[in-house]
Amino acid sequence: MPRKSGSASGSGGRSGAPRKKSWNKSQSGGKGNPVGAKKSLGQHFLRDQGVVDAIVGAAHLTRDDTVLEIGPGPGILTGRLVEQAGRVVAVELDDRFAAALLARYADSPRVAIVHADILEVDPVVLVGQAVMPTTPHLDPLVKEREQSADRVSTPNSHSDATSTPHPDSLLKERGQGEVRWKAVANIPYYITSPILRHLLEASVPPELAVIMVQKEVAERICAQPGDLSLLAVSVQYYATPELLFAVPASAFQPPPKVDSAVVRLTPHTAPLFPDVPTERYFEMVRAGFSQRRKQLANSLSAGLQRSKAEVVALLAAADIDPERRAETLTLEEWATICRRGMFAEMSSPSEQSTGVAH
């Protein structure tokens, strides 16, 4: 998984039919950002205020919300988030924008600018720091906050993030409940999957995430059985996606080569399949999609390194036609396959990995 992230946004990086809305070129306005975009960070700066307002509206923010913004860049989205939310934690890798935002919000106690690679820091640690009280009678919490801030204030830090108590645990010890947060991000195309995985597999997932991604990727995330992909199954395992609206390339400076779209992810409040270990579920799903154009019996046989006869027997036990293809299976059908008794004997000795796929 790539470990380098950057700002790609104009500010920085449920079931049912999707509600699609496009923004016209006439709604794009404003001059391009004077700071040059870095290709290495996949930067395209959002300049359409109408799109900014729509993204913020999709997050359903209140003054009780803590928002994690990934890749704020010059801060066009950050400003609107600060107006709507109670607290904003903005994570920026580009030192130019991080310095500018730190200066802009130096006197704002509701805004934290973190100069770091989002893939190298724990999002729950960041938002946990934002909601921790700083009154004198809570010195242990303040000390932990300062120590954690030191560890994540620079993208070059290699400190062990598990060496001190997790902010969520500290809050619970003080009777303040669980960390609650939302995420808003215009994700660089080349690290979409790693960031989605980072958010959805967090120890405390966001209540919702509003993300802007490549339009084609958004459509894949929201696909239904018959057109599912490994990415779609991976995301939908953790959350319910909604494709909200398309955003033309002209809404950015410089304009990307493809259009974008905004997706809202609402993480499930409980595991979809509590009786199926996550690593086993994704071992089976990855095997099924390992040769997507082949029939399920063939792709699973290759992916699990088992004979076709064994796989056919497994699928028969799950009441699934072996001639079907992986993209036609529902998430429940994958779970059914995993539940069958042959799975333990069929598990591949290869690396078992979980999470949002490319």
Domain map (residue ranges) of the chain? 25-267, 278-346
Mean pLDDT of the chain: 78
Length in residues, the chain: 358
pLDDT tens column, 67-80: 999 999 889 999 99
pLDDT at 152: 39
Asked whether residue 25 carries a pLDDT value surpassing 70, the answer given is no
- Average pLDDT of span 82-92: 96
pLDDT tens column, 252-275: 877 778 899 999 999 999 999 999
Region of poorest pLDDT, from 3-17, 28-42, 78-92, 289-303: 3-17
Sign of the alpha-carbon torsion through 257, 258, 259, 263: negative
Other Cβ atoms less than 10 A from the Cβ of 283: the count is: 23
Asked whether residue 132 carries a pLDDT value surpassing 70, the answer given is no
Distance CA 282, CA 342 (A): 16
- Average pLDDT of span 6-33: 35
User: Taking Cα atoms as reference points, which of 162, 130, 165 lies closest to residue 149?
Assistant: 130
pLDDT at 260: 93
pLDDT at 354: 58
Q: How many CA atoms lie within 13 A of 65 on its CB side?
A: 20
Q: Which residues contact 150 (CB under 8 A, 6 or more apart)?
A: 157, 159
pLDDT at 4: 35
Give CATH for domain 25-267: 3.40.50.150
Q: For Cα atoms 138, 142, 143, give the angle at the middle one, nearest 5 degrees.
A: 115
Q: How far is CA 195 from the centre of its chain?
A: 5
Other Cβ atoms less than 10 A from the Cβ of 307: the count is: 11
CATH class of the region 278-346: mainly alpha
Q: For Cα atoms 237, 241, 185, give the angle at the middle one, nearest 5 degrees.
A: 105
pLDDT tens column, 164-213: 344 444 334 433 457 899 999 988 888 899 999 999 999 999 999 999 99
Starting at the edge strand that comes first in sequence, how are the strands of the sheet with 260-267 ordered? 111-115, 87-92, 66-70, 182-186, 209-214, 260-267, 239-247
User: Which helix or strand (DSSP H or E) is residue 183 part of?
Assistant: strand 182-186
Asked whether residue 11 carries a pLDDT value surpassing 90, the answer given is no
